[in-house]
Structure 1
């Protein structure tokens, strides 16, 4: 009987400690957007050439081939899902390349200073191309990381990461361009803003700041998904950029989230840069109704 009470006491103490820990570290601290479970990804580890993977994209939302770039080399990579062997095409010398988008028959790549590189999609199967067009000073001087191309409207959306006009206003500014393929030109179509004060209204404990690293649009709902690597956050907005959801990302899973894309089946993909310990990777989150 004495042993029973001792074991009972030990069990009670352990359960109390675990309960206290659970209260301080709730299992629902990290939430997921509707239709996805961020606790159950399909992880695709990148080869060493893509340790610093940044932007990712699919052509026509078809996920059989993943197109990607990395921060330092002016190369466009392509590979089959879950196959490490990759091919690449050189489009520029070294630089700070942050995101890419495939707009019908044209590839666009965003440099951190706002410069855009573009070339025909048909060039992607080559080892190098001399058909690159470099577009400078499309936007105010600032730091940019996120870009999305809408194949239906021929529009390109680019988000500031650090813009002077946003510093004191708790906002993030974005710019819209219409691509005219017949003239191979980009025409300004205005700007938009994310009101970061809406984050606090949804999640009072979250900071009302954001340094966007990527963005994508859900092809079914037209909601915008805005990713931030610096403070490990994912925002979901409506079509007019009103913030509807805010999700803190688990740093043990999202090492350095830099790219985001959807496929035609609404599966969500997020790329993460690696480091000295962790490989670069792409996490696939299957869509569930």
Structure 2
């Protein structure tokens, strides 16, 4: 009887030890990154690479995937009713933004594809404005602020080859949809390293969005499995390691006007693409 009791105690100790060693992941204020609502996306969005809402309206999510020149739009709660419109040839499309009356999509080489926003679309859009404005490099992050300007981050650009900074560009959208480059800015990577480890990898942003009320930028890095938060002037405020079991390949990020946060994962080598919804919980 004593030996059974001793074995039981040892088993409990082993379980406690295993639980103690399990890595915990912290979350930004107002969210629980351990308890998302997980939405499985249809096959046509296996390579989903960017998401956004129009004025934060939660019933229609806009998305694109990085192999097709198509804009997808659907209610996150009814993905079977997804619709799509073709705007261009196949290509490596990485992110999108809706500003004013324009839909703007970013290709990885720094090219922009712009066409008017509409509540309904034909099967194909022919009046698409294409502009190559950003310096040579690879880009995956595009967003708009309350100022209606566009903000794009380098994923990998020659100007950042020393790894000390990540460069971004501010752009202006004119009333007729023409885009012009205004200024550049940078995020010192040491300011992120001071908060969380890169584990020997360079910082490679994969998506960008602005919080609807507090002027903070939320920056995803799929390669680094990180979420970085900066103020509106790109000063790093916080950084969070992401659980790879939930965030297998996070490539899209967006807020709705209720402050709910959405992060999309590409399917990767197996399974389906997913949309993770983190409901906002105001601290009392």
TM-score bracket, shorter-length normalisation: over 0.9
- 8 Å contact 1:89–1:126 — kept in the other structure? yes
- 8 Å contact 2:201–2:224 — kept in the other structure? no
Q: Are residue 97 (structure 1) and residue 90 (structure 2) matched?
A: no
Q: How does 1:126-145 map to 2 (within 5 A)?
A: 126-136=122-132, 138-145=133-140
TM-superposed CA distance for 1:199, in Å, is 2.0
Which residue does 2:62 correspond to in 1?
A: 67
TM-superposed CA distance for 1:168, in Å, is 0.9
Which residue does 2:191 correspond to in 1?
A: 198
- 8 Å contact 1:273–1:281 — kept in the other structure? yes
Moved more, 74-83 or 112-121: 74-83
Separation (CA, whole Å) in 1 of partners of 2:167 and 2:59: 33
Alignment match of 2:41 (pick from 46, 50, 71): 46
Which residue does 1:33 correspond to in 2?
A: 28
TM-superposed CA distance for 1:84, in Å, is 2.2
TM-superposed CA distance for 1:266, in Å, is 0.3
**Paired residue secondary structure (2:27):** coil
1:46-91 Cα deviation digits (max 9, x unpaired): 1111111110111011010111101101000111122122111000
1:160-202 Cα deviation digits (max 9, x unpaired): 0001111214211000011111x43222221111111112322
Cα 1:124/1:93, change in 2 over 3 Å: farther
Separation (CA, whole Å) in 2 of partners of 1:199 and 1:165: 18
Separation (CA, whole Å) in 1 of partners of 2:134 and 2:198: 33
Cα 1:55/1:124, change in 2 over 3 Å: farther
TM-superposed CA distance for 1:11, in Å, is 2.3
TM-score when normalising by structure 2: 0.94
TM-score when normalising by structure 1: 0.92
Cα-Cα RMSD? 1.6
**Unmatched 5+ stretches in structure 1:** none
**Unmatched 5+ stretches in structure 2:** none
Which residue does 2:168 correspond to in 1?
A: 174
Alignment match of 1:188 (pick from 164, 181, 193): 181
Separation (CA, whole Å) in 1 of partners of 2:233 and 2:147: 16
Moved more, 255-264 or 17-26: 17-26
Separation (CA, whole Å) in 1 of partners of 2:243 and 2:205: 17
Cα 1:204/1:127, change in 2 over 3 Å: closer
Moved more, 111-120 or 193-202: 193-202
